[in-house]
Amino acid sequence: MFNLAVKTVLTLALCSALPACGLFKEAGRTIGRTTRDVTKEIGHGARDITREIGHGTRDATRAIDEGARDATNATAEAVKKAVKPAPPDY
């Protein structure tokens, strides 16, 4: 079916293509690992930023709560002083 020249050309083409397969495989690995590493860094950065935002929000909420509590206590003390009856004079 195939003559000797065609078989020789196909054999040479196949043998020369095999090293290229290794190069494609290595390029694929490099691209895959780089993509994995970049994605991991983006994820960790997003996690850290989200954590910082959460801690900042928590701290601001606590500060507002403490300020409101102090204002309420100061107002209550002022009311107690204003409402307290004067001691009787004897």
Size (the chain), residues: 90
- List pLDDT tens digits, range 50-62: 999 999 999 988 8
| Tokens found for residue 52 | 């910082």
CA dihedral in degrees (11, 13, 15, 20; nearest 10)? -160
- List pLDDT tens digits, range 2-52: 677 777 777 777 666 666 677 788 888 999 999 999 999 999 999 999 999
The C-alpha atoms of residue 52 and residue 62 are separated, in whole angstroms, by 15
Contact partners, residue 58, CB within 8 Å, separation at least 6: none
